[in-house]
Amino acid sequence: MSTPITVYDIPSIIPGNAWSPNVWKVRYVLNYKGIPYQTEWVEYPDIEPLYAKIGAKSHITKPDGVTPLYTVPVLHDQSTGVVISDSAEIARYLDKAYPDTPTVFPSGTDAFHYAFMLWKTISVHCRRFLRDSKEKNTSNGRTLEEMAPKGADKEKEWARLREDFGTIDAWMKKEDKYFMGDVISYADFTICAWLLYIRIVYGADSEEWKNILKWQKGRWGALVKNLE
């Protein structure tokens, strides 16, 4: 018998298939809570029909501010009939619907998490995982190779990324294992999902990933390891 929860994700050619950081946030939450689920892989052209089929609603729009943008993650809980398409809202739903599992939004931390999620990690150079249809929808017709910074521009963007992670590091105490000390929360999954994304697109043996492991005295490599 299949599990009642289905998570929809975008397939790729990498080992394990999964690469999307936003879906990784949901996967972290489900794994942490110990909630069984199954993954269904959906190609980009099939995402909009999927929304119509299962009754999902888009939570974001294309650059025109009007046209819905259909993307993942999408979670369908057949036991309740609930369908949600935003990673943070999925996490909040799982806290409410499964109260006997570890919470990822501890009581009294709504303001903390809202402020945390306003912070945006910059985009970094990645290999071409996406098809032309995705590029045309989200990149004004430019390919990912054309969007990716090179040379001095690449160095500048990596310096920005390191500075951004330094800002986050300054929010934490030296001895903190997680963003809330010894307590795991959605903030940890948010950052770790993006770290996994970088490791996946560059490779665990890449100079880029090895450099990140050295940033802020190894805090980020330790976070990834702790959440495995």
Answer yes or no: is pLDDT of 89 > 90.
yes
User: Where is mean pLDDT largest: 7-16, 23-32, 58-67?
Assistant: 23-32
Helix H, strand E, coil C: the string for 84-153 is: ECCHHHHHHHHHHHCCCCCCCCCCCCHHHHHHHHHCCCCCCCCCCCCCHHHHHHHCCCCCHHHHCCCHHH
* Average pLDDT of the segment spanning 97-119: 83
Max CA distance (Å), the chain: 54
pTM of the model: 0.84
The pLDDT value recorded for residue 124 is 39
Q: What is the pLDDT of residues 14-54, one digit of tens each?
A: 888 898 999 999 999 999 999 999 999 999 999 999 999 99
Answer yes or no: is pLDDT of 111 > 90.
no
**Residue 180 or residue 129, greater confidence:** 180
Q: What is the pLDDT of residues 116-157, one digit of tens each?
A: 665 554 333 333 433 333 444 445 555 555 656 677 877 887
Answer yes or no: is pLDDT of 105 > 70.
yes
The pLDDT value recorded for residue 118 is 59
Question: In angstroms, rounded to a whole number, what is the distance separating the alpha carbons of residues 108 and 39?
Answer: 32
The pLDDT value recorded for residue 125 is 37
Specify the domain boundaries for CATH 3.40.30.10 within the chain. 5-97
Specify the domain boundaries for CATH 1.20.1050.10 within the chain. 109-226
* pLDDT band of 1, cuts 50, 70, 90: very low
For the segment(s) 5-97, the CATH number from 3.40.30.10, 3.90.1150.10, 3.40.50.300, 1.10.10.10 is 3.40.30.10
Which structure tokens are listed for 72?
Answer: 């993942």
Distance set, CA 196 to CA 19, 217, 221 (Å): 8, 18, 10
- CATH for 109-226 is 1.20.1050.10
